[in-house]
Amino acid sequence: MIADHLAIANTLRTWFPNVPSPDRPLLVALADALSTNNPSHLLAVIRSEGSIAAGFQRLDATRRQATKLLSDQPAAAGPIADIIAAAQQMLIAKEEALLRREHMLNQRPEQSFLTSPLAIIEANEYGIITRWNPAAERIFGWSANEAIGKNAIELLVPDVTREHVEAMVNALLSGQAANTRNANITKDGRIIICQWYNAVLHHPDGRVAGWISQTEDITDQIRAEEALRESQRRLDSLIRHLPGIAYRVRNDAKWTAEFMSEGTLAITGYPASDFLPSEGQMPRLSFGDLILPEDAAAIRESVHTALAQRRQFEITYRIRHANGGIRWLWERGAGVFDDDGNAIAIEGFITDVTAERQAAEEWQALNERIIAAQQAALRELSTPIVPISQGVIAMPLIGSIDSMRAQQIIETLLEGVNTTGAHIVILDVTGVPVVDTQVANTLLRSAQAVRLLGAEVLLTGIRPEVAQTIVGLGLDLSHIRTMASLQDGILYALGRQEKARPRSQRMV
């Protein structure tokens, strides 16, 4: 038999010069395999020419070509077919060994596959799901029996993102792995957002065999991120539109700013960036530099006391604006403390209260003027001077008399005498409910002061009980003329005036 194979091989070699160069290496290998009855000569050429499937095709083509070249020897077809078949069997055995080796190298621990919190999904080059772990069932709702054998895109991808996912899968099947984030659909119809970590699977010969993905549901994370972004947007918008300065400063000697809102410009005349460190450089300005020196010590003491007591502080102080003007500011803040209780920063808010301060000062001045006017009016009402006739005035006293009013009575009485040139002054106490030592002394002092100006004092309206009180106090009113009523006093005063006129004037 070997001799027959050798004869076939030698006959085949005679045809080599007539065979095209691309086909010659396999025919040479076939002749060697026939001569030695060893198909490995063929495998040496096949391995260098491409994949196993291509090798199968080349071997089959070589068999047909050799059989055709030796068509005049029908007995050669059998040995040629046998040696080709042996080479193909060896090729299959080698491929199986390679696949087993690849499986051993790429085998994932089954326990990890089953217990992974991430969905692990494998699909072949046609997109058909071949593996599906429990986490995939938990995330997407389908069991492994329901998912395996289904097209991954048709099962998991909603129409709105299908084009994007198909492009990603096509990239995977071309050997380009990329992680993606896209919408997916669950068994119960919910749309969720998943993060996909993708890898390409290969056959031993380098061909793409499919893809494997680890997937997690990040819907809640996305919503939380969106809520955080919206919250941050609202906070940024709020801070931008605050009519003041929101700030955070370090608790150091200069209270170095870490954050100052855009309202800084409107209040100080300087942009917030002037107070913030930049690229390792100290800030151009310190907010403390703007505070008037006479206010600085009180501010620092108030803040340090509040920090020591771990409470909020509220302070009002003045700064010098960039335009040179003075601004009144109101500030509320509190300390930020570390785990050991040390104040590491101060956060708070500053607003301009210059207008309110000016309005308060103007209101205070107006209020003081009003009070002064009211007091003057009350003085006039409480100590009225009533002209009776030329040289005669009356002061009816009503209500209680305290020390302040007593002084007003004397001052008003003297001013009235001086202004009118009165010679007779009537003090009527009909409306004074109680006459005590203070009231009596006021009357005596008033009478003495008026007498020093050359006028006479008449005291009217003394009721019996008042007279009894005066006697009981032991007061000497002998130098003061008293009368029962104001009317009696007026008649007396007018009579005195009439007598004092020259005769010629009385006859007119």
The full DSSP string for 236-253 is: HHHHHH-SSEEEEEESST
pLDDT of residue 217: 93
One-letter amino acid identity for 283?
P
For the chain, give the mean pLDDT: 83
> H-helix or E-strand containing 327?
strand 326-337
Instruction: Check residues 500 and 87 and name the one with the higher pLDDT.
Output: 87
- What is the pLDDT confidence band of residue 346, given thresholds at 50, 70 and 90? very high
pLDDT of residue 508: 41
Tell me: pLDDT of 41 over 90: no
pLDDT at 122 (0 to 100): 92
**Cβ–Cβ contacts within 10 Å for residue 257, how many?**
22
Task: List the one residue out of 288, 354, 358 whose CA is nearest residue 327.
Answer: 354
Partners of 426 in the β-ladder: 394, 458
pLDDT attached to residue 505: 46
Q: Which residue has the tokens 């070699």?
A: 13
Tell me the pLDDT band of 490, cut-offs 50, 70 and 90. confident
Q: Give burial (CB, 10 Å; 0-12/13-18/19+) of 11.
A: middle
Q: Give the largest CA-CA distance in the chain.
A: 193
Q: Are the C-beta atoms of residues 84 and 36 closer than 8 Å to each other?
A: no
pLDDT on residue 203: 87
Question: Measured between alpha carbons, how far is 156 from 140 in angstroms, rounded to an integer?
Answer: 8
AA letter at 316: T
Segment 410-416 mean pLDDT: 82
Main-chain phi, psi angles of 490, to 5 degrees: -65, -45
pLDDT digits (tens, 9 = 90+) for 160-186: 888 888 888 888 888 888 888 899 999
Question: How far lies 189's CA from each of 117, 141, 162, in Å?
Answer: 22, 10, 16
Average pLDDT over residues 320-346: 93
Alpha helix ranges (H) inside 70-133: 77-106, 110-115
For the question of whether the overall pTM of this predicted structure is more than 0.75, the answer is no
Q: What's the whole-number mean pLDDT along residues 368-396?
A: 70
- Which of 50-64, 210-224, 494-508: highest mean pLDDT? 210-224
pLDDT band at 293 (very low <50, low <70, confident <90, very high): very high
Which of 97 and 220 is assigned the larger pLDDT?
A: 220
For residues 499-507, average pLDDT? 52
497 vs 140, higher pLDDT? 140
Q: Are the beta carbons of 102 and 123 closer than 8 angstroms?
A: no
Q: Higher pLDDT residue, 371 or 384?
A: 384
pLDDT of residue 49: 53
In this prediction, residue 102 carries a pLDDT of 59
What are the beta bridge partners of residue 182? 194
Is residue 506 pLDDT above 50, yes or no?
A: no
Cα separation, 318 vs 299, whole angstroms: 10
Answer whether residue 262 shows pLDDT above 70: yes
Pick the most confident of 65-74, 146-155, 442-451, 453-462.
146-155
Please give the DSSP secondary-structure letter assigned to residue 324.
Answer: S
Residue 317 has a pLDDT of 94
- Using only C-alpha atoms, the chain has a radius of gyration, in whole angstroms, of 59
To which residue do tokens 């050429």 refer?
A: 45
Note the pLDDT of residue 3.
59
Give CB contacts under 8 A, 24+ apart, made by 364-369: none
Contacts of 469 (CB under 8 A, 6+ apart): 435, 436
Instruction: Identify which of 348, 315, 344, 317 has the alpha carbon closest to the alpha carbon of residue 334.
Output: 348
The tokens describing 481, both together, are 């003329």
The burial class, CB within 10 Å (0-12 / 13-18 / 19+), for 223 is: exposed
The structure tokens 């020093």 sit at 452
- Report pLDDT for 269: 93
pLDDT value, residue 50: 58
Q: Which residues contact 389 (CB under 8 A, 6 or more apart)?
A: 493, 494, 497
DSSP conformation letters of 482-493: EESSHHHHHHHH
CA distances for 497 relative to 94, 388, 424, 449, angstroms: 155, 11, 9, 21
Q: Please give the DSSP secondary-structure letter assigned to residue 281.
A: B
Provide the residue type at 371 as one letter.
I
126: helix, coil or strand?
coil
Residue 504: what pLDDT?
44
What distance lies between CA 380 and its chain's CA centroid? 62
pLDDT band of 306, cuts 50, 70, 90: very high
Q: Is the pLDDT of residue 484 over 50?
A: yes
Residue type, 229: R
Q: Average pLDDT of 408-416?
A: 81
Encode burial over 157-196: b for 16+ CB neighbours within 10 A, e otherwise: beeebeeebeebbebbbeeeeeebebbbbeeeeeebbbbb
Q: Which whole number is the average pLDDT over 340-360? A: 90
pLDDT of residue 54: 77
* Pair of tokens at residue 305: 């006391």
- If you average pLDDT over residues 456-467, what whole number do you get? 80
Give the C-alpha separation, 369 to 356, whole Å.
20
Is residue 288 within 8 A of residue 254, CB to CB? The reply is: yes
Asked if pLDDT for residue 142 goes beyond 90, the answer is: yes
Q: What mean pLDDT is predicted for residues 477-503?
A: 76
